[in-house]
């Protein structure tokens, strides 16, 4: 997250101060600036909404596919007497479902990172509103600064710095998809171990090991991509964005 100081009220920019002292033409210019900022603000809101609609659609598609795969396996098992043909069928169905789950997880991580980008931009715009009209920030419900408290305020995550919950990372949408995908990978591993002639206990242990390893890899991937995105997109592209700590982001 961005670690710029947020103490005190935003200072008016020299350009804004000059405009206020310039009479009618200056007031018209301030109005135009406010209109431009508002247009950009609505554009960011619309983009954020589309990103989350895509995330929800992808998640629903994955869960629907998983449900269909489970039903298909339940119907095919007795019909195939749970023999070698069923094992091959299960591997194909579960592999396709796993691919969809991994793809969904990766995209959800990207959506979370992009969402932080849009929120940071909207905080910056609200800061500009406060510069054009000092004191207006007192009526903002969301944040207007580019530091951790300001970003957390926009996410309504008021305890992100004072009392962060260790369970939050496990209840987000990407985490749910990641855990389910890891479970599918574990089932595939156990099924493969069983069908190559290993004992049941070995197959169960293989599935557990793969499941735990996949969860760890998912967490590591999400944290790494968060840091990379913040460094690449927010710090380098957004004006006035300072140092960032990727662990302070608040994905949904």
Picking from 16, 113, 126, 125, the residue whose alpha carbon sits closest to that of residue 55 is: 113
Task: Note the pLDDT of residue 29.
Answer: 81
Q: What is the DSSP string of 151-174?
A: HHHHTT-TTTTTS--TTHHHHSHH
Structure-token pair, residue 176: 């749910």
Taking CA atoms, 206 is separated from 147, 210, 212, in Å, by 44, 6, 10
Does any domain span residue 7? no
Whether the per-residue pLDDT at 240 is higher than 50: the answer is yes
Domain-embedded: residue 3: no
Query: Would the CA dihedral through 251, 120, 42, 143 be positive or negative?
Result: positive
- If one compares 198 and 162, the residue with the highest pLDDT of the two is 198
| 116 domain residue, yes or no | yes
pTM (two decimals): 0.78
**pLDDT tens across 43-53, in order?**
988 999 999 89
pLDDT of 244 > 80? The answer is no
pLDDT higher than 80, residue 15 = no
Q: What is the C-alpha to C-alpha distance for residues 96 and 163, in angstroms, rounded to an integer? A: 40
Q: How much is the pLDDT for 238?
A: 62
pLDDT at 24: 59
Tell whether the model's pLDDT for residue 248 goes beyond 90: no
Q: What is the pLDDT of residues 80-124, one digit of tens each?
A: 888 888 989 999 999 999 999 999 999 999 999 999 889 888 888
Q: Degrees (nearest 5) of the Cα angle 114, 116, 118?
A: 70
For residue 217, the model assigns a pLDDT of 95
Tell me which residue range forms the domain holding 120: 14-244
Higher pLDDT, 52 or 13: 52
| Number of structural domains in the chain | 1
Mean of the per-residue pLDDT values of the chain: 81
Judge whether 192 lies within some domain: yes
Residue 96's pLDDT is what? 96
133 — phi, psi (to 5°)?
Answer: -135, 80
Residue 245 has pLDDT above 60, yes or no: no
pLDDT bucket at 252, cuts 50 / 70 / 90:
low
Alpha-carbon gap, residue 62 to 125, rounded angstroms: 36
Residue 249 lies in a domain: no
Q: pLDDT (tens digit, 9 = 90+) per residue, 139-193? A: 888 888 887 788 888 887 766 656 666 677 778 899 999 999 999 999 999 999 8
Instruction: Note whether residue 220 is domain-resident.
Output: yes
What is the rounded distance in angstroms from the CA atom of residue 108 to the CA atom of residue 88? 30
Helix 200-229 with 84-132: angle, nearest 10 deg: 20
Phi, psi of 147 (to 5 degrees): -110, 180
Specify the pLDDT at position 91: 93
CA-wise closest residue to 131 among 40, 237, 9, 41: 9
> In whole angstroms, what is the distance from residue 139 CA to residue 214 CA?
45
Q: Look at residue 98 in the predicted model and tell me its pLDDT.
A: 96
Share of the chain above pLDDT 90, in %: 35
For residue 237, name the pLDDT band (cuts at 50, 70, 90): low
Would 4 be classed as within a structural domain? no
CA gap 4, 124 in Å, rounded? 12
pLDDT above 50: residue 246:
no
Mean pLDDT of 15-44: 74
Q: Is residue 236 part of a domain?
A: yes
């Amino acid at each position: 997250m961005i670690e710029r100081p947020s103490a005190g009220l935003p200072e008016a920019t020299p350009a804004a101060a000059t405009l206020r002292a310039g009479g009618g033409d200056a007031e018209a210019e301030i109005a135009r600036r406010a209109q431009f900022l508002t247009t950009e603000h609505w554009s960011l809101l619309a983009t954020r909404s589309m990103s989350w609609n895509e995330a929800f659609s992808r998640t629903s598609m994955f869960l629907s596919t998983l449900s269909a795969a489970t039903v298909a396996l339940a119907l095919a098992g007795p019909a195939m007497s749970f023999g070698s043909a069923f094992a091959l069928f299960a591997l194909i169905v579960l592999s396709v479902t796993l691919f969809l789950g991994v793809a969904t997880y990766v995209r959800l991580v990207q959506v979370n990172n992009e969402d932080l980008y849009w929120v940071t931009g909207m905080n910056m715009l609200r800061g500009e509103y406060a510069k054009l009209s000092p004191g207006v920030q007192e009526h903002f419900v969301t944040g207007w600064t580019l530091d951790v408290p300001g970003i957390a305020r926009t996410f309504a995550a008021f305890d992100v710095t004072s009392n962060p919950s260790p369970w939050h990372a496990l209840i987000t949408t990407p985490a749910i998809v990641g855990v389910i995908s890891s479970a599918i990978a574990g089932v595939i591993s156990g099924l493969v171990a069983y069908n190559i002639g290993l004992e049941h206990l070995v197959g169960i242990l293989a599935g557990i090991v793969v499941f735990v390893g996949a969860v760890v890899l998912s967490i590591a991937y999400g944290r790494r991509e968060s840091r990379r995105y913040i460094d690449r997109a927010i710090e380098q592209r957004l004006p006035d964005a300072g140092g960032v700590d990727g662990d302070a982001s608040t994905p949904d």
